Amino acid sequence: MIGRICGSSIPVARWLTMPKVLVSDPIDQVGLDILSQVAQVDVKTGLSPSELAQIIGEYDALMLRSGTRVTAEVIEAGQKLRIIGRAGVGVDNVDVPAATRRGIVVVNSPEGNTIAAAEHTLAMMLSLSRHIPDANASTKSGGWDRKSFVGTEVYKKTLGVVGLGKIGSHVATVAKAMGMKLLAYDPFISAERAEQIGARLVELDILFQEADYITLHIPKTPETANLINAETLAKMKPTTRIINCARGGVINEQALADAIAAGKIGGAALDVYDQEPLQADSPLRALGKNLILTPHLGASTTEAQVNVAVDVAEQIRDVLLGLPARSAVNIPGLYPDILEKLRPYLQLAETLGNLLSQVAGGRLEQLTVRLQGELAAQQSQPIVVAALKGLLTQALRERVNYVNAMIEAKERGIRIIETRDESVRDDYAGGSLQLVATGSNGEHRVMGALLGDGEIRITNVDEFPVNVPPSRYMLFTRHRDMPGIIGKIGSLLGSFNVNIASMQVGRRIVRGDAVMVLSLDDPLPEGILAEITKVAGISDAYTVVL
Ligand SMILES: NC(=O)C1=CN([C@@H]2O[C@H](COP(=O)(O)OP(=O)(O)OC[C@H]3O[C@@H](n4cnc5c(N)ncnc54)[C@H](O)[C@@H]3O)[C@@H](O)[C@H]2O)C=CC1
Ligand SMILES: O=C(O)C(=O)COP(=O)(O)O
């Protein structure tokens, strides 16, 4: 389906320069309306990865559900892409590592369709228990068969929940209210949390052996792929019924079909499949009344589709406006509330990282990020990411951002060490941040802090104390502390019509080695650096652009 959603009240001239968003799966109109506030919106569904790759290059954002596969090829073709928004939970149809490497933020809607999926699961469990789809089909086709569809009750039966997350725990809560006993398996959930829901946390084998119903609410990962297979099916009771409204691929579909056909399993209800759409020749299609199949409907309610459309469209809008996304799956620890709280420190870290890359020069092998004083109590991950972004800015320019800074650093073999030292007491209430780079030019360090009003201060360059605000153009010299040298540098810059905004000298001992830091109003003209290094007493001089 091809269609362009035009913003009704946007002047054509502005509309033509607005970012472009491609919507490649059916998304509720409310989401399209939100996107249209800030972007040109094209709706093109049913595209194959190669078809998507052919057109994605003109888009700044992509919004999808589970029907679109975003391969590395699509990511590579999406040279303008800034954000991929998944209107749902699972992002396994997106090559997230490839997007991260490209600095593309991937967002989802973690809770927008939780109730929908849980209720679909419960509907599938009860339909399976009372043969509702087959009884319906039989009656509609003229039958009145009250013998073939005798079912079973779920009351006092044992439900085994694999994955006690948002959906699994809602299913468990409702099932408990229906009088079911609850077992759960989830390696990342505490026994206390399970008990709060009324479930007993057990090992998977115990769950397989004891459950009358097994419901899966897990992502597809290397650990969960083929979790239900011939071997694990053999551990279950021959009356056990399996429901999967999570992800295809966690069940070996051939093994399940064989077990149902052989009467080794009581039945199954599936909403998701290893390959979707389900293949015409799938062994699942040939089975009778003990198997219910739905076409990935878990999130298909009007309420859920409004929820996820609004949630993700707002995040795409925000990112296109330069604001943070609230549910990024590939930015470590950088949630909007954290971002707001740490923003000044992130700017400090990024500035220091940019400065350090130019002070150190050469090939970088290690970065140590040292949070000091009050700053040591803050969450460090976002600060490390911001420092890395700054450190790589000169090399990668706008290609590096908070999404890919960590991965870019690791791909360059830069070891990252993070330390905290709350004992450091300096003049800065918010603490200070020290970055140390080790590489082909030895070890270099910079330190900075925030003043009370949030203004950034560079407080050390290598071993020298300074106290200067960062500025766009800066000149650093290493020299012997001696009378007249400052004047010579000032006169030399003046002779080249370079205006000095501020100048400061950092030294540890009188007439010893020292550093001079100059903030300049303009970039240094060609050739002046060579003239500066000719001044007696100057051992090094370099410029920095922040
Ligand atoms: N059929 C549909 O239309 C829908 C399917 N889903 C899928 O359902 C699944 C669950 O969604 P949510 O509950 O929102 O996710 P969630 O992240 O809240 O819960 C997943 C749970 O699985 C657990 N888990 C991870 N690996 C595990 C393993 N190896 N063994 C046992 N437990 C493991 C996690 O600890 C977590 O508690 C997701 O894969 C999602 O994509 C979600 C919505 C709709
Ligand atoms: O949210 C999920 O993980 C889902 O599987 C929902 O899929 P859908 O958006 O309905 O294609």
What's 472-546's CATH class?
A: alpha beta
pLDDT in tens, 119-140: 999 999 999 999 999 999 999 9
Look at ligand 1, atom 39, and give the residue with the nearest C-alpha. 219
pLDDT in tens, 77-92: 999 999 999 999 999 9
pLDDT in tens, 221-269: 999 999 999 999 999 999 999 999 999 999 999 999 999 999 999 999 9
Q: Distance (Å, rounded) from C-alpha 466 to C-alpha 305? A: 56
Q: Distance (Å, rounded) from C-alpha 239 to C-alpha 260? A: 10
Q: pLDDT band at 448, cuts 50/70/90?
A: very high
Q: Is the pLDDT of residue 157 over 90?
A: yes
Q: pLDDT band at 509, cuts 50/70/90?
A: confident
Dihedral (CA of 533, 536, 539, 544) sign: negative
CATH architecture of 4-112+303-320: 3-Layer(aba) Sandwich (3.40)
User: Which range (344-353, 388-397, 472-481, 501-510) has the least confidence?
Assistant: 501-510
What is the per-residue pLDDT for 339? Answer: 76
- The tokens describing 34, both together, are 């939100």
Domain with CATH 3.40.50.720 in the chain: 4-112+303-320, 114-293
The answer to whether 445 and 437 have CB atoms below 8 angstroms apart is: yes
Domain with CATH 3.30.70.260 in the chain: 472-546
Q: pLDDT band at 9, cuts 50/70/90?
A: low
Task: Tell whether ligand 2 has an atom less than 6 A from the beta carbon of residue 519.
Answer: no
Active site residue 247: yes
What is the per-residue pLDDT for 186? Answer: 95
What is the per-residue pLDDT for 7? Answer: 45
The answer to whether 109 and 86 have CB atoms below 8 angstroms apart is: yes
Dihedral (CA of 123, 125, 126, 131) sign: positive
Q: pLDDT band at 10, cuts 50/70/90?
A: low
Q: Distance (Å, rounded) from C-alpha 77 to C-alpha 471? A: 37
Ligand 2 atom with minimal separation from the 67 CA: 11
The answer to whether 430 and 376 have CB atoms below 8 angstroms apart is: no
CATH architecture of 332-462: 2-Layer Sandwich (3.30)
Query: Could you say which ligand is closest to the alpha carbon of residue 296?
Result: 1
What is the per-residue pLDDT for 6? Answer: 44
Ligand 1 atom with minimal separation from the 185 CA: 31
Q: What's the chain's Rg over C-alpha atoms?
A: 31
Task: Tell whether ligand 1 has an atom less than 6 A from the beta carbon of residue 21.
Answer: no
Distance 299 CA to ligand 2 centre (A): 6
Dihedral (CA of 335, 338, 344, 345) sign: negative
Ligand 1 atom with minimal separation from the 92 CA: 41
Going by their DSSP bridges, the two strands 364-372 and 291-293 should be labelled as: unpaired
Please provide the average confidence, as pLDDT, over all residues in the chain: 93
User: Per-residue DSSP letters for 373-394?
Assistant: GGGGGS--HHHHHHHHHHHHHH
Distance 164 CA to ligand 2 centre (A): 18
Mutate to test the pocket of ligand 2, among 27, 63, 66 (most ligand atoms within 8 A of CB): 66
Distance 66 CA to ligand 2 centre (A): 5
Catalytic residue among 76, 276, 418, 531: 276
CATH number for the domain formed by residue range(s) 114-293: 3.40.50.720
